[in-house]
Amino acid sequence: MKNTNSTSNNVETDEEELDLGPSKSQVKRDCQNLIDLGEEILKLKKEEILSLDLPDELEEAVTTALKIKSRSGLKRQRQYIGKLLRSVANEDIESKVRKIQHRHDTNTAQFKRLEKWRDNLIENDKNTLNEIISRHPEVDRQHINQLIRAAHKEKQSEKPPAASRKLFKYLSELEDSIS
């Protein structure tokens, strides 16, 4: 009886000592994540790609991928970029890409907020005007009211929205003064 317990203990210790590493499925998921990271890099503007400070071989592969028009060729190039990303410190590259994407998302949210403010101001929403004044106490009230009146008149007479654009630009300048 003691003999069977010792063999079962040996089996348990053998299993603990065996480190099989990540499963084949996990390796495939990791590779796919790197290919997806490569696709995210390809979606960036050229200046943003240069700001990532990619290794020369990877930067050359990305530049080549941007020139490829063939779908199958582009697919092979994306896989090659994923392979190159496996051999470099991709966490740093991924964090830089995420920062760039976050900046894009933030800019989009700010743009939509400014559009909403402008549209509400043109509709003579005093709450929006009060919100802007409380957020930007340095605002030139006379100037913003002139822009609102001109944009409101343009909208009523169905003219091109020149004053509306000026109002948007002024709101954008106010927001940029905070940043």
> Hey, where are the domains in the chain?
22-92, 104-178
Among candidate residues 109, 103, 104, 94, the one with its CA nearest the CA of residue 40: 94
Q: What is the mean pLDDT of residues 163-174?
A: 89
More confident residue, 123 or 3: 123
Domains 22-92 and 104-178 share a fold: yes
Cβ contacts of residue 57 below 8 Å, gap of 6+? 84
User: Token digits for 76?
Assistant: 């092979």
Q: What is the mean pLDDT of residues 100-104?
A: 86
For 22-92, CATH number? 1.10.60
The pLDDT value given to residue 79: 92
- Measured CA to CA, the distance from residue 94 to residue 157 in angstroms comes to 51
Q: What is the pLDDT of residues 15-61, one digit of tens each?
A: 556 667 888 898 889 889 888 998 999 999 888 888 888 889 999 99
pTM for the model: 0.55
State the CATH architecture for 104-178: Orthogonal Bundle (1.10)
